[in-house]
Amino acid sequence: MKSLWIVFISVFIAELGDKTQLATLMFATEMQVNKWAIFAASSAALVLSSLLAVLLGSHLSEWINPRIIKIIAGIGFIAIGIITLIGARA
């Protein structure tokens, strides 16, 4: 149960203010669209992308040491952060 909460909190915090959430926010500003449909579609998209991540991660861990996957993911996040900081200066 502890890992469930760790995953929930990690994903929840990571999703706050990201590009996907901002895109959903922009779709919701349209007056003529059904807000529940936007919620359902964005929720389904997050569920599907999470499913793909779990499936890919479980298969990758059969061939690649999970520690190496975590290191690669960490490097990727750092690279994205640096690129974002450089872009913010421009």
Q: Does pLDDT of 47 surpass 90?
A: yes
Q: What is the mean pLDDT of residues 45-72?
A: 92
pLDDT of residue 71: 94
CB 11 within 8 A of CB 18: no
Q: What is the mean pLDDT of residues 25-42?
A: 92
CA distances from 4 to 8, 12, 51, 72, 84 (A): 6, 12, 15, 23, 30
Tell me if the pTM is above 0.75.
no
